[in-house]
Structure 1
Amino acid sequence: MRSLYYQTPSAVALIFHIIRTEGPVNRTDIVNRTGLSKSTVSLQINRLLSRGLIREESPGTGEKARRKLRLELAADSGCVVGVLLGIHALTINIFNIAMTTLVEGSWEMTSVIEPEPTNRFIMEKIEELLQKATIPRDKLWGIGIGFPFPVDFRKGTSDSPPNLPLWNQYPLRKVYEEHFGCPVLIDNDVNVMALGEGFSGAAQEEKDFIFVKVGTGIGSGLILDGKIYRGSKGCAGDIGHIGIDGETRLCHCGNQGCLEAIAAAPAIASKGLEAAMTGESPLLENILQSKSRITSRDVGDCAQRGDMASIRIIQESGRKIGSVLAKLVNFANPGAVYIGGGVANSGNLFLSSIRESIVKRSPHLATIDLSIRFSELMARSGPSGAGILIIDELFSFARFQETLDRRLPAE
């Protein structure tokens, strides 16, 4: 699954795209694929070679040998950074421009309530990894970041995070571009996770799929016809605040009965705590006595050990999530649904409950070949997706000339 900007490309952008996605290729291949003249292809290839973006095999003797030279992406000519910030963790990968990981790191986050210290910490860790990989600043071509709240993709700002109000309208893209001096793209966490799953995870062969993250919150990323679908303002897929009939639990957004309030990790932990305190679950009661708290992971672990109260809680969560996902399946008719996030560690009991609700509430044609499974990459999908987000932007037909002019010496 790869995204493209569908517009008329310049000759150099089209040639680079073919070399990047189909290489190694020779000049004759490019002439045949593009319909461009041999002289135009030769001119633009020389341009790309002089800029260091592509490379070729050592030439033989004669014009015939030269035409057979195979051209490929010069993967180490630059790098991009992919970042995923969660409520409790930060993960950063640095990739070369062929999306091979050069260095990576992850850190626990004690608090992300305030934007300034959180962003300073992220910047410091990016700098540390660049130094660790001995990557000079002029080789940093761009940064992609996924944040755990709604983002206005076009403006590069956060927008009304219900559980992190201090981040509202924070100029994220501007802050990072000013600090690092390179293009930056900002998106929400589940969108970049969807992109990552499509690029290097289980969804590589899927053009239409839904990625669902179930953790502290619940959200979904929609890949339709091979491209991320954000809607008009960037909040498509925000299923966590869809109301569930008959539910009255108060959500942190101020409404009652939101899916997130009754089925996300905090809700599972709260129900587990209640089962422990009432004695309904001896296993959870023992955990509470030893740790003085119950987490959603505790409930999932106990469910897999056969604890009936924990099984009920996990199944209820899965069925509620499945009932909402059925609406998306009915609307978008995807080929697959992938479940990620911390609650996915609850195992097949959780997954089967989601599947049960989707199948029950969707027409036969929509589910007959529908794959519903766990994410292959889980948390690793985030940095990968953030990296491909910025790479595809830098090398898009719309922006390719700017990328050449910005990052490489002028002709």
Structure 2
Amino acid sequence: MNDPQPLVQDRLAHNSWGFLSQQGYILGMDIGSYGLRAALIDLQHHTYARAHREAKPDNAHEMLEASIALARGLLEQHGVEPSRLVRIGVGFAGPVDARHGIVQRSHRVAGWEQFPLKRHIEDAFGAVTLVDNDANLIALAEATFGVGRDVQHLFYLHLSSGVGGGLVLDSRLYHGATTMAGEVGHAVLGAIDPIYRDEPPKTLEQHLSIAGVVRRAAELGLESDRLSEIFGDARVGPQLIGETAEILAVRLSQIIALIDPQMIIIGGVVARYGGTPLFDAIKQRIPVYMASLIERPVQIVPSVLGFESVAIGGLALALESMSD
């Protein structure tokens, strides 16, 4: 996986974000269930630094304190006083009320119900803070610093422990009426499930999350929780690729027809291990469902910013707020 540092620093060197662009630093934070990350950019010298910590916290308080400690350590390492922070952008792995900076809940860690994350981070660092969910921030990160930096309209699909999405329209993150835009993982695939036709239809997340892929592999006779082994299996791998591509082609063709994006970016560990065969299969099947829109040019590409993408998205969210 490529190091995102050159992409971030190159973008910083060739762009300016508002009158604050010469005045200090921006901090990005990723409060994820499987690890914590922090990223720091110097707006004057166009440099990017980052820190990472594996963490398996038992509750929201432990997770928050570990995240704050990681970010403080990054600031201290680079000799940056918190008073020099211009903005902070925070990504959280779960549903977020982005307008008020409140985490609604976490599916994996207790204690996050209606948690005022924005207030806690602002109290810790004294800087204006914005909070959003991880998929939205990956979408904005890729649009600002990554593979989507030269387009204005894109959709990002995240296939990992959960399935979510993010919309960037007219080069800005789009939230919708309740800040839940892009949550395609929680809608069922149709009146009849394409795989389990005799059962109630499942959601995209039930099919294509890590747990969904592992379950389907077991049904096909391969007991493994390792995606590399599942997608690499000579018998099960191709069938899973075909089923996944078919499911995604149907859903993505609807998204293409609805929002007319220039690019669809797919990321997360499921997409990473599906690799080129999965992307090739998706591209092959989408035209089947596009009917008269078949000539519409839409790029289907993998994400490029990797494990740092949520923290980088926090930086991008802060930069976007400075241009308002």
| Bin for the TM-score computed over the shorter chain | 0.7 to 0.9
For 1:351, what is the secondary structure of its paired residue? helix
Rounded to whole Å, the distance in 2 between the matches of 1:381 and 1:249 is 32
Matched ranges for 1:200-215 at <5 A: 200-215=145-160
The answer to whether 1:240 aligns with 2:235 is no
The answer to whether 1:227 aligns with 2:227 is no
Q: How far off its partner does 1:318 sit?
A: 2.9
CA gap of 1:102–1:205, structure 2 versus 1, over 3 A, is closer
Q: How far off its partner does 1:98 sit?
A: 5.4
Rounded to whole Å, the distance in 1 between the matches of 2:194 and 2:264 is 28
The answer for the alignment partner of 2:34 in structure 1 is 88
Moved over 4 A (4+): 160-165
Q: Which structure is richer in relative contact order (CA contacts within 8 A, separation 6 or more)?
A: 2
The answer to whether 1:362 aligns with 2:290 is yes
CA gap of 1:368–1:248, structure 2 versus 1, over 3 A, is closer
The answer for the alignment partner of 1:57 in structure 2 is none
The answer to whether 1:336 aligns with 2:267 is no
The answer to whether 1:262 aligns with 2:207 is yes
For 1:21, what is the secondary structure of its paired residue? coil
Deviations 1:276-317 (A, max 9, x none): xx4xx5xxxxxx6xxxx52223312x14xxx12122123312
Rounded to whole Å, the distance in 1 between the matches of 2:165 and 2:294 is 18
Rounded to whole Å, the distance in 1 between the matches of 2:217 and 2:156 is 26
The answer for the alignment partner of 1:298 in structure 2 is 229
Rounded to whole Å, the distance in 1 between the matches of 2:170 and 2:148 is 13
Native 8 Å contact 1:319 1:356 kept in 2:
no
Alignment RMSD (CA, Å): 2.7
Rounded to whole Å, the distance in 2 between the matches of 1:116 and 1:147 is 14
CA gap of 1:296–1:99, structure 2 versus 1, over 3 A, is farther
CA gap of 1:385–1:257, structure 2 versus 1, over 3 A, is same
One-letter amino acid matched to 1:213: H
CA gap of 1:315–1:168, structure 2 versus 1, over 3 A, is farther
The answer for the alignment partner of 1:116 in structure 2 is 61
The answer for the alignment partner of 1:13 in structure 2 is none
Q: How far off its partner does 1:169 sit?
A: 0.9
Deviations 1:160-207 (A, max 9, x none): 445556322111111111111111100011111111111111111111
One-letter amino acid matched to 1:177: E
Rounded to whole Å, the distance in 2 between the matches of 1:161 and 1:201 is 27
Rounded to whole Å, the distance in 1 between the matches of 2:17 and 2:140 is 20
Native 8 Å contact 1:210 1:221 kept in 2:
yes
Identify unmatched segments of 5+ residues in structure 2: 1-13
Q: How far off its partner does 1:128 sit?
A: 0.8
Matched ranges for 1:302-313 at <5 A: 302-303=232-233, 307-313=234-240
One-letter amino acid matched to 2:293: L
CA gap of 1:318–1:114, structure 2 versus 1, over 3 A, is farther
- TM (norm. structure 1) is 0.68
Same amino acid, percent of matched pairs:
23
Residues paired across the two proteins, number: 306
CA gap of 1:375–1:147, structure 2 versus 1, over 3 A, is same
Equivalent residue for 2:130, pick from 165, 175, 185: 185
Rounded to whole Å, the distance in 1 between the matches of 2:54 and 2:292 is 43
Rounded to whole Å, the distance in 2 between the matches of 1:262 and 1:120 is 34
The answer to whether 1:323 aligns with 2:323 is no
CA gap of 1:363–1:100, structure 2 versus 1, over 3 A, is farther
Deviations 1:130-150 (A, max 9, x none): 111111121122210111111
Equivalent residue for 1:21, pick from 16, 36, 40: 16
One-letter amino acid matched to 1:93: A
- Flag the structure with higher helix content: 1
CA gap of 1:332–1:258, structure 2 versus 1, over 3 A, is same
One-letter amino acid matched to 1:131: E
- TM (norm. structure 2) is 0.85
For 2:16, what is the secondary structure of its paired residue? helix
Q: How far off its partner does 1:274 sit?
A: 4.1
Rounded to whole Å, the distance in 2 between the matches of 1:146 and 1:312 is 34
Rounded to whole Å, the distance in 1 between the matches of 2:45 and 2:100 is 26
CA gap of 1:175–1:362, structure 2 versus 1, over 3 A, is same
